[in-house]
Amino acid sequence: MTKDFFQGPAQQAYSQDWLAFERDALWHPYSSLTNPITAYPVVSAHGVRLTLEDGRELIDGMASWWCVIHGYNHPSINQALHDQIEQVSHVMFGGLTHRPAAQLAARLIDITPPGLDKLFFADSGSVSVEVAIKMALQFWQAQGQANRTRLLTIRSGYHGDTFGAMSVCDPVGGMHSLFQEVLPQQFFVTAPGATLNSSDYSRSLDELEQTLRNDRNKIAAMILEPVVQGAGGMRFYPADYVKYARELCDRYDVLLIADEIATGFGRSGHLFACDAAGISPDILCVGKALTGGYMTLAATLTTQRVAEGICNGDPGVFMHGPTFMANPLACAAANASLELLFENGWFTQVSQIEAILNRELGQCIDLPAVKDVRVKGAIGVVELHEPVDMHSLPEQFVQRGVWIRPFRNLVYVMPPYVISEVDLNYLCITIRDILSAL
Ligand code: PMP
């Protein structure tokens, strides 16, 4: 079948045709092809604004799932990509190397918590989590402790959609029931409460220690999202818990994996959320904002001890090697994005966003539909009593000129760091208006 609706200019008449085709044929994240929700056609994006095919502009409150920290179409990142395209867009990383990868590795080693000086480039967040898990498993195998095959994690987490990553997502909200028969069985402990003095907080510490004490011989690593649990429920918990987890992992000789795919590069108000706890994990995953949201790239960093442990054991190499590993374009975008992060003063940007979110979004707490409002860094979350209607709520936001994509009972913003006060106020006021009608 010819799809000649792709031949013409981007006009409304053509738009209807290709949109009907794509609605019928193309899966979106977590979507149905028989009862699809609307996907809005974007033709361009600049700064914090998305332009739809019909000419409407939306202020982006999501930074394209938390990645586009410097805004869209940024001249420096564009230039870095143009320059890199003129040199080499891709080359295999097996037996070949290039400066953009080495430069990026040096920068990441420099800015991440101390001790993480070995690095593996992966193609997405989920893959970097798989890589982290494999590092932990290979490490213990090489130590002659091959029975340490299981992971320990806290409930309400989210670590990705591949099988290893899925196995450590929240067992209720995640996909465990669907894939129960094939998912590795992991240890789960209660997610810490939001404050240090809550009773469920201290209970969660006891449970963590007990699990480590009883089952350390089976556990390869503990994996957690430090301080902010993202897609598992947008929960914040005290950095003290991460510090305590580090202490316990040391005491019981279990590796600690920090998944900073969502929190990395300033989002939580610290450059890395581990910095809030003053700890270094044994393995760290970063992704999402790494390239400023331009390309897919992630990295798994680890220590000398883990790297040596793996490489001195059998088979003497780390067993992973994706085709697009360390893609030069993605590395060039990441190098440019990291430069901007410091040039633009990420800390000031994030602190200003935090202040506005506290002031403006905080007012939602008085609305009857609202259960809780919480803000940390450039993350603002409004938790509702009931799940939202995903067929109607995003449409209402679009009609008001903003791009907010809620999930479950959570309406949240994680805007680009470059958002202006006026635009951020507008996002918050729009959320308040729409939620007040629920
Ligand atoms: N870990 C965390 C903490 C995440 O937030 C995500 C993505 N939301 C992932 C892992 C998976 O990353 P990706 O979607 O790039 O595979």
More confident position, 428 or 176 = 428
* Residue 1 confidence (pLDDT): 45
pLDDT surpasses 70 at 4? no
What is the pLDDT, as a whole number, of residue 175?
79
Average pLDDT in the 411-426 region? 98
* Shortest-distance Cα residue to atom 15 of ligand 1: 125
Q: pLDDT band for 8, please (50, 70, 90 cuts).
A: low
Average pLDDT over every residue of 229-237: 96
| Cα gap 227→242, rounded to integer Å | 7
- How crowded is the C-beta side of 103, counted as CA atoms within 13 Å? 16
Pocket test for ligand 1, best of 121, 261, 290, 296 (most atoms within 8 A of CB): 261
Q: Which of 159, 234, 235, 236 for mutating ligand 1's site (highest number of atoms within 8 Å of CB)? A: 159
Q: Determine which residue's CA is closest to atom 2 belonging to ligand 1.
A: 159
If you average pLDDT over residues 185-203, what whole number do you get? 89
> What SS3 class is residue 198?
coil
Tokens, residue 288:
């999402």
Mean pLDDT across 174-194: 89
pLDDT at 25 over 80: yes
* pLDDT band (50, 70, 90) for residue 213: very high
How far does residue 260's CA lie from ligand 1's centre (Å)? 9
pLDDT of residue 3: 60
What is the per-residue pLDDT for 10? 55
Asked whether the predicted pLDDT for residue 12 surpasses 60, the reply is: no
- What is the pLDDT of the chain when averaged over all its residues? 95
If you average pLDDT over residues 243-258, what whole number do you get? 98
Name the band, by pLDDT with cuts 50, 70 and 90, for residue 14.
low
Using DSSP bridges, classify how beta strands 187-189 and 150-154 pair: parallel, antiparallel or unpaired: parallel
- Rounded to 5 degrees, φ, ψ at 174 are -85, -155
Atom of ligand 1 nearest to the CA of 260: 3
Give the residue, by CA position, lying nearest to ligand 1 atom 7. 160
The answer to whether the bond into 315 is cis (omega within 30° of 0) is: yes
- pLDDT band, residue 17 (cuts 50/70/90): confident
pLDDT number for residue 278: 98
CB of 159 within 6 A of ligand 1: the answer is: yes
pTM value is 0.97
Contact status, residue 248 vs residue 129, Cβ threshold 8 Å: no
| Residue whose C-alpha is closest to residue 221's, from 130, 98, 304 | 130
Mean per-residue pLDDT, 388-395 = 92
DSSP-assigned states of every residue in 52-68: ETTS-EEEESSHHHHT-
Asked whether the predicted pLDDT for residue 134 surpasses 50, the reply is yes
Dist CA 106 CA 97 (whole Å): 14
432: pLDDT confidence band, cut at 50, 70 and 90?
very high
Neighbouring residues of 359: CB distance < 8 A, sequence distance ≥ 6: none
Q: Residues 166-173: what's their mean pLDDT? A: 92
% of the chain exceeding 90 in pLDDT: 90
Quick: pLDDT tens for 97-116: 999 999 999 999 999 999 99
Name 243's Cβ contacts closer than 8 Å, sequence gap at least 6: 277, 278, 279
Average pLDDT, integer, range 10-37: 85
Task: Band the pLDDT of 335: cuts 50, 70, 90.
Answer: very high
Please tell me the residue having the least CA distance from ligand 1 atom 14. Answer: 125
Give 125 Cα–ligand 1 centroid separation in angstroms: 5
Q: Looking at residue 176, what is its pLDDT? A: 77
Which pLDDT does position 11 carry in this prediction?
53
The DSSP output letter for 410 is E
| pLDDT at 388 (0 to 100) | 95
- The minimum-distance atom of ligand 1 relative to the CA of 129 is 10
Listed in sequence order, the residues at least 6 apart from 79 whose beta carbon sits closer than 8 Å to its beta carbon are 336
